[in-house]
Amino acid sequence: MLPITLTYAGLLGLLFLLLSAWVVKRRAQFKVMIGEGDAPQMLAAIRAHGNFAEYVPLTLVLLALCELAGTAPLWLHLGGGTLLLGRILHAIGIQLPKAPNPARLFGTLLFWFSLALLSLLALQAGIMAS
C-alpha cells in the first residue's frame, strides 16, 4: 500500500493546492490572467507553484520506489519529511521580497538533501537487487 509515500503525497498534494490557490488569489489581486504582468509578487507565486510542480513528482516517485524496495521507514520518513519541510520553507521564502532569505535557502537545501538521499537509497536498492 505504500503508507509512508501516501502520507507524504497527501500532505504535498495539499501544499500544492495551497500554492495553486495563492496563484489564483494573486491573479485576482493584480488583475493578471495570463503571465505575471508587472507585479513581482505575481511572478513569485507562479514560481513557487511551478518550482514545486517541477521537482516534487520525481522525488515522490523515488520515495515510492524506495518504499517498494523495502527501505527502512526511518530513511523514508527522513526523505519525505525533509522534502515536505523544504517545500514549505521554499514556498514561504520565495514570496518574501528580500532575497536571498533564510527560508528560501534552507528550503532549497532541505529539498536537495531529500532528493539526494532518496536518489542514493534508490541506487543502493537497485544495485543490491541486481
Tens of pLDDT, residue by residue over 20-34, are 999 999 999 999 888
pLDDT of residue 27: 93
Residue 40's pLDDT band (cuts 50, 70, 90): confident
pLDDT of residue 98: 87
Nearest to 112 by CA among 82, 91, 77, 78: 82
pTM higher than 0.85? yes
How far apart are the C-alpha atoms of 45 and 19, rounded to whole Å?
7
How far apart are the C-alpha atoms of 90 and 108, rounded to whole Å?
6
pLDDT of residue 51: 95
